[in-house]
Structure 1
């Protein structure tokens, strides 16, 4: 019987076609542009001001050029003159390509171009540095894929590559700086015009809750909105209600380039770190069909209720609401996925349920407070980058329960320093009915009658307390709340009721 080893010995080893000879390739660089810029700076230090906001020493390909630029920048920022004579003192007696550094500096200054070209040379150096970074990232991707350990997930590698690419993209931006006030004014007028065209005439995205929209002007782009509350208050219910309302109202128009521009409502991304997508879908179906969620789970429903569920599901299939149910995400992973959704499907509102379930960067070994600071800072940066409102849910500390008045305050936020500081809006969800229901006295007593009166006063009502708002007033908004359907709605106000005839 022939063994496997004997068979292997008889096999002719497979040899692929000979690899074509490759010419040795240097990473992209331009020594002449580096020399021209450094010479211009040494002749006229004003050239430094034209490149200092985007060009750093590490962007130079030659180590000696990095040292020259770094030393010159330090001298100029200290108010001193950077010239071949002053730089010689700090660069020592090293040689560059067989030329003493002092002679090299003099030659740079002698062959310098005009200050006018300094910015163009600076951009050339910067762009080539970005290309070198891209080559390194590409090499890392290849090497990581070859040498990946058994337990490594390709998805993790993709997200890490996206993070690195985004980091290069952010460092590669050199636009910005001062702009004319008239340009900012035109942007503000355009925003007002869009608000005039929208439903409800709001500057932000309408939540579908009229009184809340009136208080906030809708959900504003680039805002970090914190929705906080104790367990059982309905944070997730409020977030899903708003997310569904926004997605259901979505309307768009096609731009000349074929892309879709949102006119009303919006595309919603929902990170459900606590609940599964199925649980979240059941909640939304219960809200929209007015069938209690426990009936949906048990299948205990009438035929008419089942038809309402089917109709609600049919409507929900058409709306642009995307759910990510991955647990244990880090802020870097969440950011990468949000960018991908924006790129592939569009994005107008991002919801995170909830903030304390996110993780910080794996390389850090800091305290939880520092980790939450990293998370809230990352969420605020993401809101600005994608130019969408980010709504993040947050738990409250237990100190609320020890007070007679259970209404939350900003100081009740867990790790409140960073959350309160980074948030543009902080909203607390409070339902007095929840607390009253848990302390029902014995029937027939005087306390029971008082409790019954209080229950009638707060039944079916919820409060959204706006504890912080950068561009609007704080205060309390009353909403209707249907506990069985976990649904928030507009509360009928006395002044909005039809006239009564006695």
Structure 2
């Protein structure tokens, strides 16, 4: 039964529409704007017929050399490259023009040709996946990874965005302005008042970097933002990729921060009845929270994007947190250097934010440079570890610093923290004071502001 079903699938004619391919080429020969439109969004691979691929390739060469494309120049280009016969000859080129009365429907022809290509790609890749899976491979995870990569590459092609006229964007912007609450916060609020005032919240499609040296509280700060969001009505969904900490440890931290119970006492089993009650109440508040945690280790950027896309399709995800960037892998295991790999990762995270239209918060390590600065060890933007591409791709860079870490016996700095806006693409920089309650791994506003 299975074998017969396989044969019936492989014997089917691949999805194609030769008339649409022919009409698209005709539009390109008839009208310069149609030609330009197709050159922006069509590739040679989209055409099923070898003759049509040859014709389009010759058109692309004419375009690259800034030469006009018409029947004469196209025929000459095909003849010069020895592909005129493959393209069907002069007679077929003339027929293409004669059977295309107008270029008015070029966008529809582009859509049809591209959709058929995507279907063919799905069939081709699905066949490869079946063949690879049927071969009893040793590394099943590697097969799954390659399968996801293939499908993702096709979906990326389908999701390519066109240039749009400004009108719809203006209407969308005006609608956002009209619906904004008079709080000064237009994005996802962090719950840290002064930070929200300076940033207007974490904006959709933005990549936000939270960076510091180890043990400053990067994870705690990101978790505090997630907990603060739960006060919204309704709260947005929050997706956390915890590449360093297990989901059990992460939830325990969040529970103690929410309940304001000493984390070390919880780990040692030394909590009082009152503290136990606080934890139970905090657990009740968090139990139904729209927080989703993936603690898979050693994820690559492709896996993160694929998983984020799947969760976003099912849940109202409003914020993605990745802890932390340097623990991610690129798509390929072969890179010239680590900087190249980190560059790809940061670019992919920015692309993820744009695709899903949610802020993506990536926690990042800093280099050792602050340790070598003598008395003032405050981090600088240049300290972002392993790649300047992180700084380039990020819309917002927040540098976390606690002087108490370097001066544990100094009562003057005990419990004091600061978050520095080192870069903000659409707003000011500056430093915001915070309070760090180390026993609860919890950050709070340094001062309360009157409404």
Change beyond 3 A, Cα 1:189–1:86: closer
Q: Partner residue of 1:8?
A: none
Output the CA distance in 1 between the equivalents of 2:386 and 2:4: 58
Question: Residue in 2 aligned with 1:205?
Answer: 188
Q: Determine helix, strand or coil for the equivalent of 1:462.
A: strand
Is 1:224 the counterpart of 2:197? The answer is no
- Structure-2 separation of matches of 1:481 and 1:323: 24
Q: 1:482 to 1:47 in 2, by over 3 A?
A: closer
Matched, 1:406 2:377: yes
- Does 2:320 correspond to 1:350? yes
Partner of 2:270: 300
Hey, what's the Cα distance between the residues in 2 that align with 1:238 and 1:18?
A: 56
What CA distance in whole angstroms lies between the structure 2 residues aligned with 1:415 and 1:250? 36
Deviation for aligned residue 1:308: 1.0
The aligned counterpart of 1:11 is none
* Separation in 2, partners of 1:283, 1:433: 21
Residue of structure 1 in register with 2:53 after alignment: 66
The 5 Å alignment of 1:408-487 reads: 408-437=379-408, 440=409, 455-487=410-442
- Displacement of 1:114 in angstroms is 1.6
Other-structure match for 1:196: 181
How many residue pairs match? The answer is 446
**1:457–1:195 distance in 2 versus 1, CA, 3 Å:** farther
* Mapped partners of 1:389, 1:184: distance in 2: 19
Structure 1 Cα separation of the partners of residues 135 and 325 of structure 2: 34
Match of residue 158 from structure 2 = 172
Task: Pick one of 251, 262, 265 that aligns with 2:233.
Answer: 251
Which of 147, 154, 158 is the equivalent residue of 2:135?
Answer: 147
Q: CA deviation digits over 1:18-62, x for unaligned, max 9? A: 948849421011222222332343344443134222122211111
Give the structure 2 partner of residue 257 of structure 1.
none
Distance 1:345 1:158 in 2: 24
CA shift, 1:157, in A, is 4.4
State the Cα distance separating 1:65 from its structure 2 match: 1.1
Q: Aligned pair in 2 of structure 1 residues 66, 465: CA closer, same or farther (>3 Å)? A: same
Matched, 1:241 2:224: yes
Contact 2:407 2:413 in 1 (8 A): no
SS in 2 for 1:145: helix
Asked if structure 1 preserves the Cα contact closer than 8 Å seen for 2:184 and 2:197, the reply is: no
Match of 1:367 in 2: 337
Report the Cα offset of residue 137 of structure 1: 2.3
Q: Which runs of 5+ in 1 are unaligned?
A: 1-15, 253-264, 441-454, 498-502
Matched, 1:388 2:388: no
1:281 & 1:72 partners in 2: Cα distance? 58
Residues in 2 aligned to 1:374 and 1:17: alpha-carbon distance in whole angstroms = 41
The answer to whether the aligner puts 1:120 opposite 2:108 as a matched pair is yes
Q: Which residue, out of 79, 98, 123, partners 1:110?
A: 98
1:215 aligns with 2:206: no
1:80 maps to what in 2? 67
8 A contact 1:244–1:321 mirrored in 2: no
- Could you list the runs of 5+ residues in structure 2 that have no partner in the other structure? none
**Helix, strand or coil: the match of 1:61?**
coil
8 Å CA contact 1:227–1:429 kept in 2: the answer is yes
SS of equivalent residue, structure 1 residue 457: coil
Deviation string 1:188-222 (CA, Å, 9 cap, x unpaired) is 2222233317xx45101111111221121111111
SS at 2:308 equivalent: helix
Which whole-Å CA distance do the structure 1 matches of 2:393 and 2:162 have between them?
22
- How much has 1:400 moved relative to structure 2? 0.6
C-alpha deviation, 1:320, in angstroms: 0.8
In structure 1, how many angstroms separate the alpha carbons of the residues matched to 2:371 and 2:305? 34
Q: Secondary structure at the match of 1:436?
A: coil
Inter-partner Cα distance in structure 1 for 2:282 and 2:384: 36
Q: Rg bigger for which structure?
A: 1
Compute the RMSD of aligned alpha carbons: 2.4
One of 126, 147, 170 as aligned partner of 1:185: 170
1:18–1:288 CA distance, 2 compared to 1 (3 A): closer
Query: Which residue does 1:443 correspond to in 2?
Result: none
**TM, length-normalised to structure 1:** 0.83
